[in-house]
């Protein structure tokens, strides 16, 4: 049986793993390569590196990180943040990433998804979406709006519509981040996740809000997510991957056993 995937997200700024709350204020918490190797050995199913380096002249650091990670871990991992062009995608994949996640650039330039999918394969292209709840309106019938620039700019685009369009353009997967839930540790946004996951035929990764193993159970069972992104609940040693998976297994969620 296909397992539900547990994906650890590492936000990387100038070569260091960092963690922020609601997209504001970040603290460095370690070396991404060392952390990646630890999670790999603990039995995580996949990793995501999200480059939040602000200055463009320090962007090459992430490529070095990707190379080093690829030499050390043998599970899939994706890279997102600051990917705007085909050339950016090519560099990250060449360095050893399995997938690339596009977010702001895809909203501003949707053909980037189709070109990327055509060139590298659909399975390489993850459509990252930052979504915030809003009032339902003719423009936003689902009541969820797409934001860009790391959750700083609303776009007046309906999240459900954008997810379907992204799938049509060739995205192989959607990473759905709830801006409202992100950093709260109060649980994933279940209604958002189940709405999107039930409306597309590609896998959906739920992101934002994970604080305890129960939250993952809920997003898999009620939210219909195919994978769940976690960060702070493991970064500070509160839970291990094994503890989370054992809990999920007991709750009847299919997970890859740590053996």
Partner 1 sequence: MIAIIDYKAGNVKSVERALRHLGVACRITNSPAKIISSEGVIFPGVGAAGKTMEVIRSLNLDSVIHEVVRQKIPFLGICLGSQIILKVSEEDDASCLNLIAGTVRRFPDMGIKIPHMGWNNISIEQRHPILSGIDREAQFYFVHSYYPEPQHREHIIATTHYGIPFASVIGRNNIVATQFHPEKSGRFGLHLLKNFTEWNGTC
User: Catalytic residue numbers?
Assistant: 11, 130
Distance (Å, rounded) from C-alpha 231 to C-alpha 224? 20
User: Are 202 and 169 within 8 A, CB to CB?
Assistant: no
User: Are 7 and 44 within 8 A, CB to CB?
Assistant: yes
Question: In this complex, which beta carbon is closest to partner 1, that of residue 233 or of residue 255?
Answer: 255
Question: In this complex, which beta carbon is closest to partner 1, that of residue 45 or of residue 51?
Answer: 45
Shortest approach of partner 1 to residue 201 CB, angstroms?
6
Question: In this complex, which beta carbon is closest to partner 1, that of residue 135 or of residue 201?
Answer: 201
Shortest approach of partner 1 to residue 69 CB, angstroms?
10
Binding residues for partner 1, rule: CB under 8 A, are 1-5, 40, 43, 45, 70-71, 74-76, 93-94, 96, 98, 121-124, 172-173, 201-203, 226-227, 256-257, 259
Neighbour count for residue 218 (Cβ, 10 Å): 18
Distance (Å, rounded) from C-alpha 54 to C-alpha 36? 22
User: Are 159 and 172 within 8 A, CB to CB?
Assistant: no
Shortest approach of partner 1 to residue 159 CB, angstroms?
19
Q: Which residues pair with 127 in a beta bridge?
A: 102, 174
Phi, psi of 117 (to 5 degrees): -65, -40
Question: In this complex, which beta carbon is closest to partner 1, that of residue 148 or of residue 229?
Answer: 229
Shortest approach of partner 1 to residue 202 CB, angstroms?
6
Question: In this complex, which beta carbon is closest to partner 1, that of residue 239 or of residue 249?
Answer: 249
The enclosing H or E element of 127 equals: strand 125-133
Distance (Å, rounded) from C-alpha 88 to C-alpha 183? 28
Shortest approach of partner 1 to residue 206 CB, angstroms?
14
- Decide: residue 177, CB within 10 A, 0-12 exposed, 13-18 middle, 19+ buried: buried
């Amino acid at each position: 049986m296909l397992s539900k995937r547990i994906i650890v997200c590492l936000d990387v700024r100038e070569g260091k793993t960092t963690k922020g709350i609601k997209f504001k204020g970040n603290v460095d918490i370690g070396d991404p390569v060392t952390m990646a190797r630890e999670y790999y050995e603990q039995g995580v199913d996949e990793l995501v590196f999200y480059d939040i380096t602000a200055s463009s002249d320090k962007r090459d650091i992430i490529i070095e990180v990707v190379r080093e990670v690829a030499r050390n871990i043998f599970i899939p991992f994706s890279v997102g943040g600051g990917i705007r062009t085909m050339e950016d995608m090519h560099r990250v994949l060449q360095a050893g990433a399995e997938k690339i996640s596009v977010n702001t650039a895809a909203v501003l330039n949707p053909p980037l998804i189709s070109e990327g999918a055509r060139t590298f394969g659909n399975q390489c292209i993850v459509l990252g979406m930052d979504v915030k709840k809003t009032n339902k309106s003719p423009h936003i019938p689902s009541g969820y709006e797409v934001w860009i620039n790391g959750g700083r700019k609303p776009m007046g685009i309906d999240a459900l519509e954008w997810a379907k369009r992204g799938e049509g353009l060739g995205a192989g997967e959607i990473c759905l981040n709830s801006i409202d839930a992100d950093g709260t540790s109060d649980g994933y946004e279940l209604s958002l996740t189940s709405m999107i996951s039930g409306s597309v035929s590609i896998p959906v990764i739920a992101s934002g809000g994970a604080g305890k193993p129960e939250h993952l159970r809920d997003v898999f069972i009620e939210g219909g997510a195919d994978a769940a992104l976690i960060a702070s609940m493991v970064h500070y040693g509160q839970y291990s991957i094994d503890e989370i998976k054992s809990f999920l297994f007991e709750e009847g969620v299919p997970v890859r056993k740590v053996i």
